[in-house]
């Protein structure tokens, strides 16, 4: 009690005798319960502020719930069909990269998904024209991966699903630009790219989609359980949510997502221009109209030099430039936290490297 008293700002700087223990009626068990409640209340104010700032950033309409969950976006690959479908329900997946493919494969366990378009045969470098899509008339939803992290393919506009329900994995471009949330049934994202430490997954879901989970759904995957408990059904990832809250405050201070998008466009443009202006020394395989602002994959015409490029860049403290093992080459991830100066440094290095090896 004395400790709590001090923490609340009632600290006496010249105590003459130890403070009298405050008298709170009740058993030890009641006291412990009260102490726990107060920790819960204290954390509630942190999570509520984080949610309210995220609502401001993305202009989230009131008919949507915001959930702070665990298990990464990968867990949502299962949670979404479990919550929205019966086992025989049809759902559509538009597969523009390996994350969309993983989401589709997981959905096979809990629903009847169909790949209505896949970019695999073209090494995931494109997004199809939406009018070409043959959507299933009775699909419960259409799932997309808004930004394919490994392949660097990003939706700039969104398809309209036949039955009005669009679901997007925004793990790698969440909070990188404004998004019209009202176009989506669910937006979900692992926090670790743009908004916080791994361990927090954010789900923005239209409220009328909550409460229909399959009977076999584990409590930790049931959106209703988390919604009813304001994301505090079990011990939440407190530190991660606290960090996300600080990032949301910072993004608001930077002028919100329109301001962030401007900065991200400038960074990406600089890098893509350097690649395209290199006379073929560097190449980006992704079709220009769908190139990601967040993940920029590129290769060297002389692929035997790629190892040296990565080694030399590391000597200048530019690390994590190796492309994903499934695609090779290089990949520069230029998330919100990467300053323009970081991209400028990379581009200067690329020019010097080219002059040495051209
Ligand atoms: N979806 C996308 C687009 C990703 O980039 C990632 C991971 O990097 C995932 C899903 C998987 O996320 P997690 O590792 O949080 O499960």
Domains, the chain, in order of start with CATH, read 28-253 (3.40.640.10), 257-357 (3.90.1150.10)
Closest CA to 138 of 164, 157, 156: 164
Return all residues near 102 (Cβ < 8 A) that are at least 6 apart: 74, 77
123 is catalytic: no
Long-range CB contact pairs, 208-214, < 8 A, 24+? 208/63, 209/83, 209/84, 209/165, 209/185, 210/65, 210/83, 212/83, 212/84, 213/82, 213/83, 214/82, 214/83, 214/85, 214/86, 214/87, 214/110
Q: Is 124 in the pocket of ligand 1 (CB under 6 A)?
A: no
Distance in Å, CA 73 to ligand 1 centroid? 5
Q: Is 173 in the pocket of ligand 1 (CB under 6 A)?
A: no
Residues of the chain with pLDDT under 50: 1-16
Distance in Å, CA 72 to ligand 1 centroid? 7
Mutation test residue for ligand 1: of 70, 74, 193, 201, the one with most atoms within 8 Å of CB: 74
Query: What pLDDT is stored for residue 42 in this prediction?
Result: 87
| Nearest residue by C-alpha to atom 14 in ligand 1 | 72
159 with 130: CB under 8 angstroms? yes
Query: What pLDDT is stored for residue 23 in this prediction?
Result: 54
End-to-end CA distance of the chain: 72
Query: What pLDDT is stored for residue 168 in this prediction?
Result: 98
**Which two structure tokens, joined as six digits, stand for 159?**
């398809």
Question: Side by side, which strands form the sheet with 90-95?
Answer: 64-69, 201-206, 186-190, 166-169, 142-145, 90-95, 112-118
Q: Is 119 in the pocket of ligand 1 (CB under 6 A)?
A: no
Phi and psi at 148, nearest 5°, equal: -85, 105
Return all residues near 15 (Cβ < 8 A) that are at least 6 apart: none
pTM of the model: 0.90
Kindly state the DSSP code that residue 4 receives in the 8-state scheme. Answer: H
138 is catalytic: no
Query: What pLDDT is stored for residue 8 in this prediction?
Result: 38
Distance in Å, CA 145 to ligand 1 centroid? 10
99 is catalytic: yes
Query: What pLDDT is stored for residue 76 in this prediction?
Result: 98
Beta-strand runs (E) in the chain:
64-69, 90-95, 112-118, 142-145, 147-148, 153-154, 166-169, 186-190, 201-206, 282-283, 295-300, 330-333
Q: Is 70 in the pocket of ligand 1 (CB under 6 A)?
A: no
Query: What pLDDT is stored for residue 36 in this prediction?
Result: 67
Between 256-276 and 28-58, two packed helices, what is the crossing angle to 10 degrees?
A: 60
| Nearest residue by C-alpha to atom 12 in ligand 1 | 73
Determine how many CB atoms are found less than 10 A away from the CB of residue 11.
11
Closest CA to 328 of 292, 294, 303: 303
Exactly one of 53, 99, 101, 267 is catalytic; which is it? 99
Return all residues near 216 (Cβ < 8 A) that are at least 6 apart: 82
């Amino acid at each position: 009690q004395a400790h709590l008293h001090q923490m609340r700002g009632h600290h006496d700087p010249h105590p003459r005798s130890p403070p009298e223990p405050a008298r709170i009626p009740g058993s030890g068990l009641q006291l412990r319960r009260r102490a726990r409640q107060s920790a819960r209340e204290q954390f509630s104010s942190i999570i509520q502020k984080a949610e309210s700032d995220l609502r401001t950033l993305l202009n989230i309409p009131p008919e949507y719930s915001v959930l702070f969950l665990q298990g990464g976006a990968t867990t949502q690959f299962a949670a979404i069909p479990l919550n929205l479908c019966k086992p025989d329900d049809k759902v559509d997946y538009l597969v523009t990269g390996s994350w969309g493919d993983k989401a589709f494969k997981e959905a096979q366990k809990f629903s009847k998904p169909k790949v209505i378009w896949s970019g695999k045969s073209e090494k995931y470098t494109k997004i199809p024209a939406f009018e070409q899509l043959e959507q299933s008339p009775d699909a419960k939803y259409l799932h997309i991966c808004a930004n394919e992290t490994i392949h660097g393919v990003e939706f700039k506009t969104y398809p309209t699903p036949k039955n009005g329900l669009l679901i997007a994995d925004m793990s790698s471009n969440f909070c990188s630009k404004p998004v019209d949330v009202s176009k989506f049934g669910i937006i979900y994202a692992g926090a670790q790219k743009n908004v916080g430490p791994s361990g927090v997954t954010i789900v923005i879901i239209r409220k009328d989609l909550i409460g229909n989970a399959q009977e076999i759904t584990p409590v930790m995957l049931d959106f209703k359980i988390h919604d009813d408990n304001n994301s505090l059904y079990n011990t939440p990832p407190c530190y991660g949510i606290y960090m996300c809250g600080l990032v949301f405050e910072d993004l608001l201070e930077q002028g919100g997502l329109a301001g962030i998008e401007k900065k991200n466009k400038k960074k990406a443009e600089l890098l893509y221009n350097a690649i395209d202006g290199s006379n073929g020394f560097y190449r980006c395989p992704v079709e220009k109209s769908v190139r990601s602002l967040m993940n920029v994959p590129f290769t060297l015409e002389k692929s035997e030099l790629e190892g040296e490029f990565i080694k030399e860049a590391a000597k200048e403290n530019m690390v994590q430039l190796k492309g994903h093992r499934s695609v090779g080459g290089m990949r520069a991830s230029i998330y919100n936290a990467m300053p323009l100066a970081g991209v400028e440094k990379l581009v200067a290095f690329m020019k010097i490297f080219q002059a040495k090896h051209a």
